[in-house]
Amino acid sequence: MSAQAAPAATAPVVTARELSRTFGAFVAVDRVSFEVAPGEIFGFLGSNGAGKTTTIRILCGLLAPTSGSATVAGFDVTSDAARIKTRIGYMSQKFSLYTDLTVDENLRFWGGTYRLWGSEAERRRDWAIEVAGLAARRRTLVRELPGGYRQRLALGCALLHRPPIVFLDEPTGGVDPEARRRFWDLIDDLSVQGTTVFVTTHSMDEAERCHRVALMHAGRLLALDSVRALKRIFPQGTLLEATCPRPAGALEVLERTPGVIEAALFGDRLHAVCERAGMAPVLARALDDAGNGPAAVRAVPPSLEDVFIRTIRDAEAGGRS
Amino acid sequence: MIRRILAMTVKELLQLRRDWRTAGTLLGMPIVLLLIYGYALSFDVRDIRLAVVDLSHSRASRDTVQSFLSSGYFRHVATIDDTEALDPLFDSGAAQAALVIPAAFADDIAGGRTTELKFVLDGSDSQTASTILGYARQIVASLTPGLYKVEVEPPIGAAPLVWYNPDLKSSIFLVPGLVAFILMVTTVIATTLAVVREKERGTMESLRATPLAAIELLIGKTLPYLLVASLSATGSLTLAWLLFDVPVRGSIGWLAVLTVIYLAGGLGWGVFLSTLAESQQVAFQIALLSSMLPTLLLSGFVFPISSMVQPLQVISHIVPARYFIAALREVVLKGVGPEVWWNDALALVAYGAVVLLLATIRTVRSL
C-alpha cells in the first residue's frame, strides 16, 4: 500500500518515520510515516479510534511515541517538545476556551501563555477578534456565544503567536454546516498565507477540502494522496449506484452477481464496485429478477467515502504488511 | 516565565471573581465557621444553677454565698434548710450544684477552728462538673486563704477530667486551632478544584500544548489562592480579636511567616490531590476528607495530642496543623519568639517542602 508523501518542493514542516504508540496491548498508532509540506492543508481522515488524535498528540509533544520518530518545524518531538510548543498552535478535540471568561479575557490569557505583550499582543487580539467576527462582543462571556463563534475564537487563540503550523483535532464537531463552511474558508486563508494546517476529521466533506488526505484505520496509515489521486483506485465507469424499493435486501443480491467485487449501502442507495465498466444493465436485471424492481443503476464518480471503504476492505483482505 | 505566571494568575483571579460561590466560600466560610465554632465550641461554663443550704444563718455564711454569686459563674436558684430537699432539685435539673454550709460554720471560724463547706455537684456531665469544681475551689481559696478545707461530694460518681484550665477562657485556646482548621480546609479544597476543573473541562490539554511549563502553571494557579487564604487568615484573626478578645501578643511578622509556610503546604497538598482525581466531585471529597479530619481530630485543635492512644500520636506527626497550632498558640497567646517554637516552624517547612516536591513531581508526570 502506498503511504509515501509526494515529494515536497521545500523542506517538510512535519515528518513522521515509523511512528508507533501503544497503550498496553492496544496499538493506537502503528508504524506511520508521512511528510507535510509548508502551507499544505493536510487531512487526517478516519473513524473514532483510528489513531488520529494520538498521532496529533505525539506531534504536539503531549505524548511520547513508543517507537519511531517525528519532527515538527525541524525539532524532534521526543527531545525538543518545549521548542515545538512555541511554534505550533493546537486546537484540541475538547473545547479549549474558558467559558467563564469573556472573549477578550480569553485572548489575553492565551496570548500571555505565549509571552505576547504590549502592542503586539493588542494587534494580534484585534486580528483574532476580526477573524472570529466578534468585534461587537469582546466583553461577552464565551459561554454565551454560539458554537460557530467559539470555534473560530478557539482557532484565533491558537494562532495568536503566528505559529507556522497549526494542529486542529476535529475542529468542527457539533457546529452547523454554515459555520463549518466559514471555518473552512478560514483554513483556506491560512494556507494561502503559508501556514501549514494539520487537521483531523471523520467528515468526508471536510476531507475533500484538504490538499492531501491520509486515510487512517486501526492505527495504520492506509493511503495518502490528493483526493483526486485517491479516487483513481476506481477505473472509469466501474463504480455503480443503484436505487431500488428495498435497498437493505438488495445488498446480498448485488454481492452474488458475477463481476461485482463488492457492494455497500449508502443510506437509501447502494454502491457496487465492478471488475469492468458497462455493467449497469446486468445489475438492474439482477435486482429485477430478485423481485426488487424497478431498479435504476448508473455509473457515478467515486466519493471519498467509496475510496475509504474500498481501501479499508483491501487492507483487511490483503492482511498486514 | 514571569509573564506566563502572571497571565495564569490574572486568569485565575478573573475566574474567581465570576465564580461567586467559590469566592464566597473562601472568604465567607472562615467567618461563618469562626462564629459557629467560636460560640459553640466553648468549654466555659456560665450561669451554673446553684442551690444553697445555709444551716449556719450567720454573717459569715451569707458572705460565703455572696462570693459565689458575685464570681459571675453561679446563678442562685434556691435556698433550702434541709439537705434532703436537694435530691429533687438535682433530679429535676433545677440545680447543677449545691453549697452546703454546716450549722457550726460561724462558730468554727470565730473560734479559729478548721471548718468544712460541702459542695455537691451533678456529675453526669463529667466535663462540666470538673469545670464547676475548679471554679468552686478558686472561690473558696480566695475567701480566707488556708481557713477553709473544701470537701467535695459528687452524688453520682464523677471522674474529673480537666481539659483546659477552667479559669482561662477556652475560646482563647480554640481560636488558633480554628484558624489553622479553616485555612487548611479552604486552601486544599480550592486548589484541588482549581486544577481538576481544567482537566474536567478539557482546557488542561490545551494548556499543555502551550509553552507554559508545569511549574509555571502551578505557581500561577496557586498564587491567587495563597492571596485569598492570607486575607481569610487576617480576617479570622481580626474577628477573633474583636469577638472573643483573643489578643495577638506576638509579632505580626512571625505570624505572617508561619501562616504562609503553612498555607504553602496546604496548597501543595491540594495540587498533589488534583493529580489523583479526574472529576471535581471526587476531588472535592478527597480534598475535604484529607484536610478536615486530620486537622480537626489529630492536630491538638480539640483533643490534646498527649491524651491520644499511641498510634494516633504517631500519626499526628504528619498533620501540619499540629505544628501550626502549637506555634500559633505560642505567638498569639504568649507572644514569644522563634526561640520557643523554632522546631514547629521547621516541621512546617519540612512538610511544605516534601508536599510541594511531591506535587511537582506528580504534576510533571501526569500533565
Q: How big is the CA angle at B253 (ends B251 and B259), to the nearest 5 degrees?
A: 105
* Residues in chain A within 8 Å Cβ distance of B211: 82, 85-86, 113-115
The three-state secondary structure class of B246 is: coil
Which of A47-56, A99-108, B148-157 is the least confident region? B148-157
Q: Is B207 on the interface with A (CB under 8 A)?
A: yes
| pLDDT over 90 percentage in chain B | 21
C-alpha cell at A42: 493536510
Q: Residue B20 and residue A103: Cα distance in Å, rounded? A: 20
β pairing state of A67-72 and A14-23 = antiparallel
* Mean local confidence (pLDDT), A149-165: 92
Distance from first CA to last CA of chain B, Å, rounded? 18
**pLDDT score at B236:** 83
**pLDDT score at A39:** 93
Least CB-CB distance to A94: which of B11, B202, B211? B202
Q: How many CB atoms lie within 10 A of CB A70?
A: 23
Task: State which amino acid sits at residue B230.
Answer: S
Least CB-CB distance to B15: which of A95, A100, A111? A100
- State the nearest Cα–Cα gap between B363 and chain A, in angstroms: 14
**pLDDT score at A320:** 46
CB B80 within 8 A of CB B86: yes
With an 8 Å Cβ cutoff, are B10 and A62 in contact?
Answer: no
Which of A6-10, A108-112, B279-283 is the least confident region? A6-10
Q: Is B8 on the interface with A (CB under 8 A)?
A: yes
Residue B330 DSSP one-character state: I
Question: Which of A2, A55, A47, A4 has its CA nearest to residue A29?
Answer: A55
C-alpha cell at B249: 501578643
| DSSP states along B86-113 | HHHHHHHTS-SEEEEE-TTHHHHHHTT-
Residue B149 reports pLDDT greater than 70: no
Q: How many CB atoms lie within 10 A of CB B232?
A: 23
CB B88 within 8 A of CB B115: no
**pLDDT score at A164:** 95
With an 8 Å Cβ cutoff, are B206 and A91 in contact?
Answer: yes
Question: Cβ-count burial of A55 within 10 angstroms (0-12 exposed, 13-18 middle, 19+ buried)?
Answer: buried
Q: What are the tens digits of pLDDT across the range B150-176?
A: 444 444 433 333 333 334 456 677 778
| pLDDT over 70 percentage in chain A | 96
- State the nearest Cα–Cα gap between B278 and chain A, in angstroms: 15
Residue A203 backbone phi and psi in degrees, to 5: -100, 125
Question: Which of A133, A185, A167 has its CA nearest to residue A58?
Answer: A167
β pairing state of A269-274 and A260-266 = antiparallel
* Residues in chain A within 8 Å Cβ distance of B206: 90-92, 94, 96
- State the nearest Cα–Cα gap between B209 and chain A, in angstroms: 6
Q: Is A171 on the interface with B (CB under 8 A)?
A: no
What are the Cα distances from residue B191, in Å, to A41, A231, B174, B198, B349? 41, 54, 26, 11, 19
Which one of B199, B203, B210, B219 makes the best mutation probe of the A interface by having the most chain A beta carbons within 10 Å?
B210
Q: Residue A257 and residue A268: Cα distance in Å, rounded? A: 20
**pLDDT score at B171:** 66
CB A95 within 8 A of CB A154: yes
Residues in contact with B334: Cβ distance below 8 Å, sequence separation at least 6, in sequence order: B249, B250, B340
Q: Residue B29 and residue B184: Cα distance in Å, rounded? A: 12
* Mean local confidence (pLDDT), B50-61: 88
- State the nearest Cα–Cα gap between A206 and chain B, in angstroms: 23
With an 8 Å Cβ cutoff, are B7 and A112 in contact?
Answer: yes
Residue A105 reports pLDDT greater than 90: yes
Q: Residue A236 and residue A239: Cα distance in Å, rounded? A: 8
Query: What domains can be seen in chain A, in order of their start residue?
Result: 14-230 (3.40.50.300), 235-301 (3.30.70.100)
* Residues in chain A within 8 Å Cβ distance of B205: 62, 92, 94, 96
Q: Residue B344 and residue B265: Cα distance in Å, rounded? A: 14
What is the residue-averaged pLDDT of chain B? 83
* Mean local confidence (pLDDT), B170-184: 79
**pLDDT score at B164:** 34
**pLDDT score at B165:** 36
- State the nearest Cα–Cα gap between A108 and chain B, in angstroms: 8
β pairing state of A239-243 and A269-274 = antiparallel
Question: Which of B83, B86, B245 has its CA nearest to residue B170?
Answer: B245
**pLDDT score at A10:** 76
Give the residue from chain A lying closest to B13, CA to CA. Answer: A101
With an 8 Å Cβ cutoff, are A62 and B208 in contact?
Answer: yes
- Residue A34 pLDDT grade (very low, low, confident, very high; cuts 50, 70, 90): very high
Size of the A and B interface in Cβ pairs below 8 Å: 77
Q: Residue B297 and residue B303: Cα distance in Å, rounded? A: 7
What's the count of helices (H) and strands (E) in chain B, helices before strands?
14, 5
Least CB-CB distance to B206: which of A96, A99, A112? A96
The secondary structure of chain A, three-state, reads CCCCCCCCCCCCCEEEEEEEEEECCEEEEEEEEEEECCCCEEEEECCCCCCHHHHHHHHCCCCCCCEEEEEECCEECCCCHHHHHHHEEEECCCCCCCCCCEHHHHHHHHHHHCCCCHHHHHHHHHHHHHHHCCHHHCCCEHHHCCHHHHHHHHHHHHCCCCCCEEEEECCCCCCCHHHHHHHHHHHHHHHHCCCEEEEEECCHHHHHCCCEEEEEECCEEEEEECHHHHHCCCCCCCEEEEECCCHHHHHHHHHHCCCEEEEEEECCEEEEEECCCCCHHHHHHHHHHCCCCCCEEEECCCCHHHHHHHHHHHHHHHCCC
Give the residue from chain B lying closest to A114, CA to CA. Answer: B211
With an 8 Å Cβ cutoff, are B202 and A92 in contact?
Answer: yes
Q: What are the tens digits of pLDDT across the range A198-214?
A: 999 888 888 999 999 99
Which of A256-270, B122-136, B192-206 is the least confident region? B122-136
Domain segments of chain B as ranges? 2-41+169-366, 48-143
Q: Is B4 on the interface with A (CB under 8 A)?
A: yes
Q: Residue B132 and residue B136: Cα distance in Å, rounded? A: 6
Sign of CA dihedral A177, A179, A181, A187: negative
CB B209 within 8 A of CB A62: yes
CB B172 within 8 A of CB B181: no
Distance from first CA to last CA of chain A, Å, rounded? 8
**pLDDT score at B363:** 82
Residue A234 reports pLDDT greater than 70: yes
Sign of CA dihedral A158, A164, A170, A172: positive
Residue B145 reports pLDDT greater than 80: no
Q: What is the ipTM of this complex?
A: 0.82
Residue B43 reports pLDDT greater than 90: no
Q: What are the tens digits of pLDDT across the range B292-339?
A: 899 888 888 878 788 788 898 999 999 999 999 999 888 887 788 888
- State the nearest Cα–Cα gap between B208 and chain A, in angstroms: 7
Question: Which of A142, A152, A146, A145 has its CA nearest to residue A181?
Answer: A152
Question: Which of B211, B205, B208, B367 has its CA nearest to residue A92?
Answer: B205
**pLDDT score at B42:** 62
Sign of CA dihedral B204, B207, B213, B219: negative
* Residues in chain A within 8 Å Cβ distance of B203: 94-98
- State the nearest Cα–Cα gap between A155 and chain B, in angstroms: 12
**pLDDT score at A268:** 86
Estimate the share of chain B in helix, then strand, then coil, as percent rounded to the nearest 5.
70, 10, 25
Residue A263 reports pLDDT greater than 60: yes
**pLDDT score at A6:** 45
Which one of B3, B21, B197, B206 makes the best mutation probe of the A interface by having the most chain A beta carbons within 10 Å?
B206
With an 8 Å Cβ cutoff, are A100 and B19 in contact?
Answer: yes
With an 8 Å Cβ cutoff, are B14 and A61 in contact?
Answer: no
**pLDDT score at B156:** 41
CATH class of B48-143: alpha beta
* Residues in chain A within 8 Å Cβ distance of B8: 109, 112-113
Q: Residue A73 and residue A71: Cα distance in Å, rounded? A: 7
With an 8 Å Cβ cutoff, are B210 and A113 in contact?
Answer: yes
**Kind and range of the H or E element at B180?**
helix B170-201
Chain A residues 58-117 within an 8 A CB cutoff of chain B:
60-62, 82, 85-86, 88, 90-101, 105, 108-115, 117
* Mean local confidence (pLDDT), B274-279: 89
* Mean local confidence (pLDDT), B198-209: 89
**pLDDT score at B249:** 81
With an 8 Å Cβ cutoff, are B7 and A111 in contact?
Answer: yes
Q: How many CB atoms lie within 10 A of CB A190?
A: 19
| Higher per-residue confidence, B247 vs A192 | A192
Q: Is A139 on the interface with B (CB under 8 A)?
A: no
Q: Residue A102 and residue A207: Cα distance in Å, rounded? A: 32
Least CB-CB distance to B210: which of A94, A101, A114? A114
**pLDDT score at B131:** 81
Angle B214-244/B252-274 helices, nearest 10 degrees? 130
Chain B residues 208-227 within an 8 A CB cutoff of chain A:
208-213
With an 8 Å Cβ cutoff, are B6 and A112 in contact?
Answer: yes
Which of A235-239, A258-262, B81-85, B261-265 is the least confident region? B81-85
